[in-house]
Amino acid sequence: MCLEIRKTCKCGKNDAQFHMRDNVLSQKVIAELYCPECSNQAEFNPDTMLGDNDWIIEYDMDLARFMTVSKLMLEPEAVRPGYLFDSGYACWLEMYPGEKQDILEERTEIMGLQKTDPTRYLQEISSWNIARIERLKADGWRKAMAA
């Protein structure tokens, strides 16, 4: 079972859903979240923080090390913010925060074709999906780059 966890950013204007693979880590490991509007308030510390475009996740690295070392037998030095994110133990649930909403909006137009022209709908939806992933990679979203 994977828990879905939502956290509001420091300024309170935005939130993001997190994926905590296998529940190895608890929600407390995500110490702070900075959205594009408040990330300039954060003094970026690569030892505890991970930046993804204009978002910053700050981890409680002591807690994260304690949990990963005891549950996964990892070497403490191997546990870095990038590892917590890339391994899926504490990363975005979506490709980036707000992706689901963007998808709904972008797809509305294509969905209209579903009834009128099903063949074209399938072509459009598949090329839209490919183009979307390419765009996320070009934008530099960490999960898209790793996909």
Q: Which residues of this protein are in contact with Zn ion, per CB under 5 A?
A: 9, 11, 13, 35, 37-38
We find the least distance from the C-beta atom of residue 141 to Zn ion, in angstroms, to be 18
d(CA 140, CA 136): 6
What are the phi and psi torsion angles at 34 (to 5°)?
Answer: -120, 125
Nearer to Zn ion, 11 or 78 (CB): 11
We find the least distance from the C-beta atom of residue 8 to Zn ion, in angstroms, to be 8
Nearer to Zn ion, 12 or 112 (CB): 12
We find the least distance from the C-beta atom of residue 33 to Zn ion, in angstroms, to be 8
Nearer to Zn ion, 48 or 87 (CB): 48
d(CA 129, CA 42): 34
We find the least distance from the C-beta atom of residue 46 to Zn ion, in angstroms, to be 20
Question: Which tokens is 55 given?
Answer: 């978002």
CA 11 to chain centre: 19
d(CA 95, CA 133): 9
- Cα angle 129-133-136, degrees, rounded to a multiple of 5: 140
Sequence-distant (≥ 6) Cβ neighbours of residue 76 within 8 angstroms:
65, 69
Nearer to Zn ion, 38 or 57 (CB): 38
We find the least distance from the C-beta atom of residue 114 to Zn ion, in angstroms, to be 36
Nearer to Zn ion, 8 or 129 (CB): 8
Running DSSP on this structure, what letter comes out for residue 20? E
